[in-house]
Amino acid sequence: MPPPSTAPSGVVESLVHRLVSRRVTVREVEPVGDAFRLVTLVGEDLENRRWIPGDMIQIGFAGLAGRAYTPLSFDLRTGSTTFLGYVHGHGIASSWLASATIGEQLFLVGPRSALGLDAVNRPMLFFGDETSFGTAAAIRATPEGTRDVALWFEVESAEASRIALERICVTNGVTLTTREPQDRHLDRIESDITRALRAAPQARCVFTGKAPSIQRLYRAVRRAGISAKQVINVAYWAPGRKGFSGVQR
Ligand SMILES: Cc1cc2nc3c(=O)[nH]c(=O)nc-3n(C[C@H](O)[C@H](O)[C@H](O)COP(=O)(O)OP(=O)(O)OC[C@H]3O[C@@H](n4cnc5c(N)ncnc54)[C@H](O)[C@@H]3O)c2cc1C
């Protein structure tokens, strides 16, 4: 699998962002423990937009390129959308989330295509991390809902993650695995997913979250005989890289 790429960065993207962005207001911010914020944005420009579960929105910050988040719901009638943001502590969007306040105005681009969950057949084997909880919740809004979906997450804190997932009602079929040094925890996830594929070789894999983890799982399922067409990879972030925009393969 080629390395996930970032969108063209810097000035050009920032200008494009300003040209196509819509103004929205923060309607609600709910802290879910220290590490997550459930944010609802509202704006007339969001009314009657087209939203497909798995789409991203990009929020602009002070002349910088947008930062991507995945709505877990989108009310086209009222022009409001909610996402769960992870406060990882290393970037501008993460800092903003930690202190976001009701009534703040933001510039937003989207919803834009990132991961077409609507088109994913079942069984679905979904992998991600804290940044993917909202995407997992958006599966509910697909035509097949949560039927035959199994979810694996690698996380820093199983306790904080469990609370966040319960808050957004993602509880069925969830396996939480705490990160370990040298990514040893991925051994277990890899063997779980390949076992599930042996039982259901027609299953579809959806891998999101941290780029190196996705790359490793992608190689594992390909070795297990799964065709490239059965796997969707969308990297949400990579260590040391700023502002991923979402790349589908
Ligand atoms: C299509 C798409 C959908 C996304 N949906 C969501 C979502 O619903 N909820 C959500 O919380 N995030 C989501 N993300 C991830 C989010 O956009 C990134 O975490 C982004 O880097 C946050 O911007 P930032 O300004 O905080 O950090 P950046 O300025 O982009 O990066 C600064 C530093 O922080 C590091 N970093 C970024 N993310 C993490 C992390 N999770 N853990 C540890 N270090 C990190 C980077 O590697 C970099 O070193 C999504 C990304 C994409 C591409």
CATH number of the domain enclosing 129: 3.40.50.80
As a whole number of angstroms, the distance between CA 4 and CA 78 comes to 35
Domain finish residue from 47, 77, 112: 112
* Nearest residue to 110 via CA among 163, 56, 149: 56
SS3 174: strand
Average pLDDT over the chain, rounded to whole? 91
pLDDT of 63 > 70? The answer is no
Position 147 in a domain: yes
Same-domain check for residues 128 and 58: no
Using one digit for the tens of pLDDT, what is the confidence trace for 124-157? 999 999 999 999 999 999 999 999 999 999 999 9
**Ligand 1 pocket residue status of 217, Cβ below 6 Å:** no
To the nearest whole percent, how much of the chain has pLDDT over 70? 89
Instruction: Write the residue with the smallest CA distance to atom 43 of ligand 1.
Output: 88
Given 112, 133, 156, the domain boundary residue is 112
At 66, is the pLDDT very low, low, confident or very high (cuts 50, 70, 90)?
confident
Please give the model's pTM, rounded to 2 decimal places. 0.93
Q: Does residue 201 lie in a domain region?
A: yes
Phi, psi of 171 (to 5 degrees): -130, -25
- Residue 244 counted as domain residue: no
Q: Is the pLDDT of residue 7 over 60?
A: no
Q: 42 exposed, middle or buried (CB, 10 Å; 0-12, 13-18, 19+)?
A: middle
Q: Are residues 143 and 176 in the same domain?
A: yes
- Mean local confidence (pLDDT), 74-101: 96
Which amino acid residue places its CA nearest to atom 40 of ligand 1?
A: 88
86 lines ligand 1 (CB under 6 A): yes
* Domain of residue 192, residue span: 117-237
The total domain count for the chain is: 2
Task: Kindly list the distances between the CA atom of residue 235 and the CA atoms of 5, 25, 189, 195, 242, in Å, as whole numbers in the listed order.
Answer: 9, 28, 17, 23, 12
- Asked if residue 18 is part of any domain, the answer here is yes
Q: Based on the domain organization, do 44 and 67 belong to the same domain?
A: yes
Q: Domain for residue 242, yes or no?
A: no
Strand, coil or helix: 53 = coil
Q: Is residue 3 part of a domain?
A: no
Assess whether 175 and 64 both reside in one domain.
Answer: no
Last residue of a domain, one of 112, 145, 168: 112
Average pLDDT over residues 35-46: 96
pLDDT for residue 4 is more than 70: no
Q: Is the CB of 177 under 6 A from ligand 1?
A: no
| Whether 232 contacts 25, CB under 8 Å | no
